[in-house]
């Protein structure tokens, strides 16, 4: 979060910062620019475009506010977290709404996830994008981005006062 805060204050530097990570699939180190790694709520549309077009094999960090948490059911045995979407983007009379949803695959994280609606979260995982879903005669297009949490260190949940 300290790096995010420092880079948020200086956009010139943020475009030059490169992170290194180990790609376990390719079994080698790779680099990623900060702008393709970290996304705030007003950048979810950019995140969708990047993930949809590039299918990156690296983790991405998404910051947002927890809108809802769906509890496990017999037919779907995992918690699911949805983040608050940004204001819809109006493009040629149609509204595009990026939607972030994360499946919590680790049962040991259930207690960490419960009762967290309204709190801020940083999620660090590999994300993928689905085809846009249309609603109401193509007036609304939902740009769905999905991810999986498998370890508690992939998520940081905190109150708004701790965010800045």
DSSP states of 66-105:
EEEEEPPBTTB-SEEEEEPPPPPEEETTEEEEEEEEEEE-
pLDDT of residue 161: 62
- What pLDDT score does 13 carry? 81
pLDDT value of residue 3: 78
The label of the residue with tokens 């879903």 reads 133
Distances (CA, A) of 25 to 30, 55, 57, 58, 153: 11, 14, 8, 10, 20
Nearest to 78 by CA among 101, 100, 106: 106
Residue 124: which domain range?
2-162
pLDDT at 138: 81
Q: Tell me if residue 148 falls in helix, strand or coil.
A: strand
**3-state DSSP call for residue 42?**
helix
DSSP letters along 49-71, please? HHHHHH--SS-EEEEEEEEEEEP
3-state secondary structure of 28: strand
What is the pLDDT at residue 1? 65
C-alpha–C-alpha distance, residues 61 and 162, integer Å: 18
Number of structural domains found in the chain: 1
What CATH number is attached to the domain comprising 146?
2.40.50.140
pLDDT confidence of residue 69: 97
Prediction pTM value: 0.89
Local confidence pLDDT in tens for the 164 residues of the chain: 677 777 777 777 877 899 998 888 889 999 999 999 999 999 999 999 999 999 888 899 999 999 999 999 999 999 999 999 999 999 888 999 999 999 999 999 999 999 999 999 999 999 999 999 998 888 999 999 999 999 999 999 998 765 55
pLDDT of residue 162: 58
> Contact 60/52 with Cβ under 8 angstroms?
no
Q: What is the pLDDT of residue 4?
A: 77
């Amino acid at each position: 979060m300290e790096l995010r805060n420092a880079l948020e204050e200086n956009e010139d530097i943020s475009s030059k910062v490169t992170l290194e990570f180990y790609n376990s699939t390719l079994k080698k180190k790779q680099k990623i620019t900060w702008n393709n790694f970290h996304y705030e709520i007003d950048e979810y549309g950019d995140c969708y475009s990047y993930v949809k077009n590039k299918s990156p094999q690296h983790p991405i960090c998404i910051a947002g506010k927890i809108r809802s948490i769906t509890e496990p059911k017999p037919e779907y045995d995992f918690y699911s977290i949805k983040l608050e979407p940004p204001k819809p983007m109006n493009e040629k009379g149609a509204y595009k709404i990026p939607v972030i949803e994360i499946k919590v695959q680790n049962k040991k994280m259930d207690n960490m996830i419960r009762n967290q609606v309204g709190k801020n979260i940083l999620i660090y995982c590999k994300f993928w994008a689905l085809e846009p879903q249309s609603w109401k005669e193509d007036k609304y297009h939902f740009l769905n981005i999905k991810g999986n949490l498998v370890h508690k260190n992939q998520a940081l949940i905190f109150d708004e006062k701790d965010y800045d």
